[in-house]
Amino acid sequence: MSISNGVQLITYADRLGDGSIESLNSLLNGPLAGLFKGVHLLPFYYPYDGEDAGFDPIDHTSVDKRLGDWSHVKKMGESVDIMADLIVNHMSAQSRQFRDVLEKGRESAYWPLFLTKQDVFTDTDETKTNEQIANVFRPRPTPFFSDYEVAGSETVPFWTTFTSNQIDIDVESDLGKEYLSSILTSFTESNVDLIRLDAAGYAIKRAGSNCFMLEETFAFIEELSKRARSMDMQCLVEIHSHYQTQIDIAERCDSVYDFALPPLVLHTLFTQDASALAHWLSISPRNCFTVLDTHDGIGIVDVGASGDKPGLLDNASIDALVEQIHVNSKEESRKATGAAANNVDLYQVNCTYYDALGKDDLNYLLARAIQFFSPGIPQVYYGGLLAADNDMELLAKTNVGRDINRPYLSTADVEAAIEKPVVKGLIELIKIRNDSNAFNGDFSVSYNDKLLALNWAHHSDTACLEIDFNTMSAVIDITDAGKSTTITISELLG
């Protein structure tokens, strides 16, 4: 199948519009009509408001009735490409299957579906086992294993890579394969075009390894992608890791995220030095999706070193980048990041991208222009689309760090926000990215004397973004069907 090469929206069904998939679709056909070629609809399964905001589904094949049903997803898919999350690694401890395991223990028909500590670490030497566990890559500060009493008589340590309510499944078991297939079937019957493989890097575990992006993991992703393609869907792999890992993964799957771009764009605008960004864009995967902001925080690990492999930025530059975000956000991001709030990810800074740039409208449009002219299909998070501020009230209410960038925005909020100059400017940039045929062609990048040029060419159609970091000014030149247009970024602000 073919995915539209245009800007996509990332959003929750309950946090944009009036609280349903149908309401969101009305927005896409009303105030936001024609803007987006696709929508990444963040978890809408039952329940969408669990411990991890929908990423801990009790029933992954069921739409939460408070949001609608599969027919509403299918209807939205008639006008835009739909991306949905396939939560590969785990399911809720409240699920019917795991509750059956708790009740019946090893006699449960679902026992093989879930991973226990002993399934992976079979050595009876406890010292050796502890050494192997110490080598496992850890994405969160919570324990690897959570003890559950099963059948009223046995305490079993189950794998819980993320939280104690997210029980890891054995994706290599027959039951695991059947479970994932049932989700794929629900997707393909409801006009889902793209599958975001959430937490796929952790799905395969082997004793003696770091249990992250193993060779067996690559094979698992390839096989799952093959099954999806046979059902007329494509897969996007979500992995936060060293940039070389992203390049390697990209060679073996449909698409990856360019997670290095968000921190590199911030670093570039903070320092007026685009050398690291230009280097990355010269080697970055072309089969990628680009983001600046998402439902998670601003990732840092993607530009850092890994062991003896240097990063795209050195440690001092990364430290300065993080500190500047805190300064620009008037310390609000510090209150939402790390130990300051209930954070499950240690390698991200929680802040809106708009606040990370100090609410500077010109810099914000420069950041979006860089994103749209970088290789890949651009996605814009709903809060970023509307240049939303840090939601300190929601953060105070929930003490969940990522909620600082997960606001509830009604239809009325949307209608008010699209009148802001910065949002009007962003909408114009979206139209430029969607309408120019040049973006179907070849990309090149150059950087000399603080002048960055991102160029696209498809036959006689061309598109160029040129930013002069000496003056912090930028010009877009477009030639389509023989017609040339020149626009400065500052003009987009009115």
Beta bridge partners of 306: 309
Question: Strand 255-258 to strand 298-299: parallel, antiparallel, or no bridges (unpaired)?
Answer: unpaired
Instruction: Please write down the long-range contacts of 22-25, taking CB distance under 8 Å and 24 or more positions apart.
Output: 22/68, 22/72, 22/75, 23/411, 24/76, 25/72, 25/75, 25/76
CA 17 from centroid of its chain's CA atoms: 21
Helical ranges in 60-125 per DSSP H: 70-76, 96-104, 117-120
Beta bridge partners of 4: none
Neighbours of 487 (CB within 10 A): 17
Does residue 170 have a known ligand-binding role?
no
Does residue 442 have a known ligand-binding role?
no
Does residue 86 have a known ligand-binding role?
no
Does residue 393 have a known ligand-binding role?
no
Contact present, 166 and 145 (Cβ < 8 Å):
no
Does residue 72 have a known ligand-binding role?
no
Does residue 197 have a known ligand-binding role?
yes
Does residue 52 have a known ligand-binding role?
yes
Does residue 346 have a known ligand-binding role?
yes
The catalytic residues are 198, 238
Q: What angle do CA 166, 93, 151 make, to 5 degrees?
A: 135
Does residue 56 have a known ligand-binding role?
no
Question: Burial of 460 by CB count in 10 Å (0-12 exposed, 13-18 middle, 19+ buried)?
Answer: exposed
Does residue 238 have a known ligand-binding role?
yes
Q: Directed axis angle between helix 261-271 and helix 361-373, to 10°?
A: 130
Neighbours of 457 (CB within 10 A): 16
Half-sphere exposure in the Cβ direction for 262 (13 Å, CA): 32
Does residue 345 have a known ligand-binding role?
yes
Picking from 310, 306, 254, the residue whose alpha carbon sits closest to that of residue 280 is 310
Q: Which amino acid is at 90?
A: H
Does residue 202 have a known ligand-binding role?
no
Does residue 296 have a known ligand-binding role?
yes
Identify each DSSP E strand in 113-261 by its residue range. 145-150, 154-159, 166-168, 194-198, 234-237, 255-258
| Annotated binding residues | 52, 90, 196-198, 238, 295-296, 345-348, 402
| Annotated binding residues for substrate | 52, 90, 196-198, 238, 295-296, 345-348, 402
